[in-house]
Chain A
Amino acid sequence: MRRRTAGALLALGCACAGAPPLPADRLAQAEAEVRAAQEIGAERAPQARVQLQAARESIDNARELNNSDPEAAARKLEVARAQAELANALAREQLARTEAEQAHARLDALRGGTPDALAPEPSQKKGGTTR
């Protein structure tokens, strides 16, 4: 009887100890990518915003999944990181598109004879939208 009780307590202890925590490095990388996407303005680009939200949800899913399937949870963090990277890339693309459109608009204005089109060009950082 004592042996049975001890065995039961041991099993309970193992169960209470739970699953190992999410891999810290993968979690940090995923969260860093999410922050980077936010900083570049992914919230303002519709497609990027969708991916950014998906990345946040994937991180939440990983946390929930970690108890039952740590390996799957770790993979979810990889997915989250890739989603955040895509959000980042889409945000940069949107920025580049806006800059290209603005350049065209300025050229059209210049050719159309807009009075202030001959004003000095604002300093343009080339390659600012590419990494």
Chain B
Amino acid sequence: MTWSPLRLLLIGGALLASCVHLQRTDRLDEARAAYAKAQDGPGAASSPADLATAKKFLELAEQGLDTGDPRLVDDRATIAILKIQAAEALGRTHELAAERDRTLQVLAATRQQLLDETQQRLALTRVELEKEKVARDAAEARLAESRAVLAREAQIRELSEGTVITLPGGELFHQGQAELLASGRDRLSRVAEYLKSASRAARVQAQPPSKGSRKSALKLSGERAERVRDFLIGEGVTARQIIAAPPTKTPTRKVPNSPEFAANGAVDIVLEPASGSAGTATGPGKP
């Protein structure tokens, strides 16, 4: 067998071609770039084991170059890219989980702080309520005491219109006059104490005496109501709390059938029911 130069050239070329290794594929380059990028990403710190696995697949793809089969290299490079992406996703997942845990810690601390603050406020409110209760009990005790004192010298009735304190006109005024007696002032001072303790709106209404001229009796009653109101304000009852109501031509409530009343009439101080608008006098009359 003779080897012609042409045949030798062809055989030599074939041998040379078989010696030329596959150097790269686009997919492999992509995998290399992805790995280089992932080394600076969240996967490197948070999931190094997953990234190391990805690197092994990249190395397998590179070793595949020796086979000269680009499809094999591409398939292995594809797997490497997928593994790299998975490692990055797991890295991000670790970071998100850590972020969630940090937030939950802050959440728990903030919730505890708010609960503590709420409990502190609640404790303060309880103390305030207790103080108020003590003060209210004391006020009620004062009210009951002043009422008891008042009840010794005045008639006190609980009617639908409220608490009615009735003082005989002869104990407050000289007959036919509107100037207060000294003893009447003392009694009204105790009425003032009761009104201040009660903190309820009140009106002064004088019942006219039944003797004498009706017109002059009504006029006198109006003046007496004014005097009583002025005196009570002077004793510390607020002007807002008490009014002087004009006398009515016919009695609005039961009046005593006695000579004393016939001669001097009476003075009623009506406190509105406790459930009403306490503290402010309303209704007809001169404020």
* Interface residues in chain B, defined as those with a beta carbon under 8 Å from any beta carbon in chain A: 71-72, 75-76, 78-79, 82-83, 85-87, 89-90, 92-94, 96-97, 99-101, 103-104, 106-108, 110-111, 114-115, 118
Contact = CB atoms under 8 A, between A and B. Distances in A.
A96 B101 CA distance: 10
A19 to B, nearest CB: 17
B97 A130 contact: yes
B72 A107 contact: no
Contacts of A100: 96-97, 99-100, 103
Interface stretch (A6-14, A21-29, A86-94): A86-94
A36 interface: no
Lowest 7 CB-CB distances: which A-B pairs, in order? A96-B96, A82-B82, A89-B89, A103-B103, A75-B75, A100-B100, A89-B86
A96 B90 CA distance: 10
A83 B85 CA distance: 10
A71 to B, nearest CB: 8
A97 B98 CA distance: 11
B35 to A, nearest CB: 14
Contacts of A79: 75, 78-79, 82
A35 B8 CA distance: 59
A124 B107 CA distance: 12
Contacts of B107: 103, 106-107, 110, 121
B31 to A, nearest CB: 12
20 contacts: A72-B75, A75-B75, A78-B75, A79-B82, A82-B78, A85-B83, A86-B85, A86-B89, A89-B93, A93-B92, A93-B96, A96-B97, A99-B97, A100-B100, A100-B103, A104-B103, A107-B107, A121-B111, A130-B93, A131-B90
- Greatest chain B CB density within 10 A among A88, A89, A121, A129 is at A89
Give chain B's interface secondary structure class. Answer: helix
A83 B75 CA distance: 12
A83 B118 CA distance: 52
Contact of B90 (A92, A103, A111): A92
A4 to B, nearest CB: 33
- Greatest chain A CB density within 10 A among B83, B101, B103 is at B103
A1 interface: no
Given A72-B72, A103-B104, 4 more contacts: A72-B75, A93-B93, A104-B103, A111-B110
B110 A107 contact: yes
B57 to A, nearest CB: 8
A85 B82 CA distance: 8
A103 B108 CA distance: 11
A129 B92 CA distance: 11
